[in-house]
Structure 1
Amino acid sequence: MTSGPRPVVVGVPAGRRVAFFQDALRSAGLPGARVVSWPDVLRGRARFAAGETVRLDSPGEDPEADLLLRGVGDPTRVEGTGRWYGRFTAAVAGLAGSVGEAGAVLVDDPAELPVLFDKRLSHGRLRAAGVPV
């Protein structure tokens, strides 16, 4: 018997999204995912292996990741949002390279992430798909 892909999730280890993903895997009879934290990714310490399937989750709910992305210690301040976006998209691009070089598979397309953050891009995609906005 051959084993399937080994799941990995990049997210907040104690976060609700990672917990929901782990629950979904177990409910499907699959093993739990190895969890890689966003701070490890942002510091260049994340490592991947051939045969792993890597899913990206939100770095939200992680104060350390927020500080690394925004460069501002107070999460209630509006400063740093442009920096957050730039650092996040750069981190995801670097992560995609690391995943590919390791022979792992990244589920998420880094080129599609800006659509989630840019209202004009997302509206354009929706209109092109015939969805009224």
Structure 2
Amino acid sequence: MADNPRITGLGGVFYVAADPEATRAWYRDKLGIDGEYGPQLAWSDEPKPNPYSLISHFKNDEYIQPGKGGFMINLRVNDLDGFVELLKSRDVDVLDSVDEGYGKFAWVLDPNGVKIELWEQVAEDAP
């Protein structure tokens, strides 16, 4: 047993999709992430110092709209501007983007209507 048992990061996001194989193909072909059981991300690929994940709670689904299901997936990217251009070249509709100072954000919908927030961590420390 570890000296300090604790949660160390986000293990995954799981949800029901009408066509799981088509959804996995969209994540592979449009977002460039793939894995044996679905899109897989390795923390070792993160180049920024002090990377972190966030579990955030909302009183209503206003921030998640136009996404469906009452949740959203947040994915880290190392170059948001470049990635947004890549998505556009792959015919992905980018809903919006913003620079909040501590991070840059953009949003897309996956084929099931799930909202995906793309996030480039700018600040080294959590807000």
TM-score under structure 2 normalisation?
Answer: 0.24
Q: Which has the higher strand share?
A: 2
Q: Which has the higher helix share?
A: 1
Which structure would you say has the larger Rg?
1
